[in-house]
């Protein structure tokens, strides 16, 4: 009995160490472009999520908008139009607030795990709005 405990202790400590490392790494800062990059006629939009791998519930989406030459677009109005691709959850459009340097962020809620899409609408003064569609999977947890 004593020798078994002595054997399990280092294994237990090792596991705690691994879990500790995993936890310090996971809730990290929003990684850039975790949901991909899309191009429209005038824009390149990089979309990221925090948490980086979206799970059911609340998430912050951040879009970086650049023009065709790669310069940050800072004067746009942005919105996120959310829905699942396999079922209709109704109209759910979230305005994204400018964060500076061409970044726009908004808080969204994924009601269910599964396949989702976000249509990012970029509207600049005096120009026709353009839509960029992103598709990704939302995990249960
Ligand atoms: Cu659904």
Domain count, the chain: 1
Cα–ligand 1 centroid distance for 44 (angstroms):
28
Confidence of residue 6 (pLDDT cuts 50, 70, 90): low
Q: What is the mean pLDDT of residues 37-48?
A: 97
Cα–ligand 1 centroid distance for 65 (angstroms):
28
Confidence of residue 4 (pLDDT cuts 50, 70, 90): low
Whether residue 51 has a cis bond before it, omega within 30° of 0? yes
Cα–ligand 1 centroid distance for 89 (angstroms):
6
- Alpha-carbon gap, residue 88 to 85, rounded angstroms: 7
Q: Is position 30 within any domain?
A: no
* Domain range for 71: 37-138
What pLDDT is recorded for position 3? 58
How does pLDDT run across 112-128, given as a tens digit for each residue? 999 999 999 999 999 99
Strand order from edge to edge, sheet including 93-100: 37-39, 43-50, 57-67, 103-110, 93-100, 77-84, 114-123, 130-138
Q: Is position 20 within any domain?
A: no
Q: 40 to each of 18, 36, 53, 61, 130, how far by Cα in Å?
A: 43, 14, 24, 19, 7
Domain of 103, CATH number, reads 2.60.40.3340
Q: Is position 66 within any domain?
A: yes
Q: Is position 71 within any domain?
A: yes
Indicate whether 68 pLDDT > 60.
Answer: yes
Cα–ligand 1 centroid distance for 69 (angstroms):
38
Confidence of residue 33 (pLDDT cuts 50, 70, 90): confident
Cα–ligand 1 centroid distance for 15 (angstroms):
36
How does pLDDT run across 8-26, given as a tens digit for each residue? 545 444 444 444 444 333 3
Q: Is position 23 within any domain?
A: no
How does pLDDT run across 70-114, given as a tens digit for each residue? 999 999 999 999 999 999 999 999 999 999 999 999 999 999 999
Q: What is the pTM of this model?
A: 0.77
Q: Is position 13 within any domain?
A: no
């Amino acid at each position: 009995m004593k020798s078994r405990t002595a054997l399990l202790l280092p294994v237990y400590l090792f596991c705690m160490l691994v879990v500790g490392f995993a936890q310090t790494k996971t809730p990290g800062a929003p990684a850039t472009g975790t949901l991909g990059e899309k191009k429209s006629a005038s824009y390149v939009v990089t979309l990221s999520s925090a948490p980086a791998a979206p799970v059911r519930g609340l998430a912050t989406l951040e879009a970086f908008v650049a023009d065709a030459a790669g310069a940050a677009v800072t004067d746009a109005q942005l919105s996120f139009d959310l829905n699942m691709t396999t079922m209709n959850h109704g109209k759910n459009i979230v305005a994204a607030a400018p964060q500076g340097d061409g970044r726009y962020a908004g808080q969204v809620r994924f009601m269910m795990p599964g396949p989702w899409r976000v249509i990012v609408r970029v509207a600049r003064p005096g120009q026709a709005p353009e839509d960029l569609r992103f598709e990704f999977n939302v995990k249960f947890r």
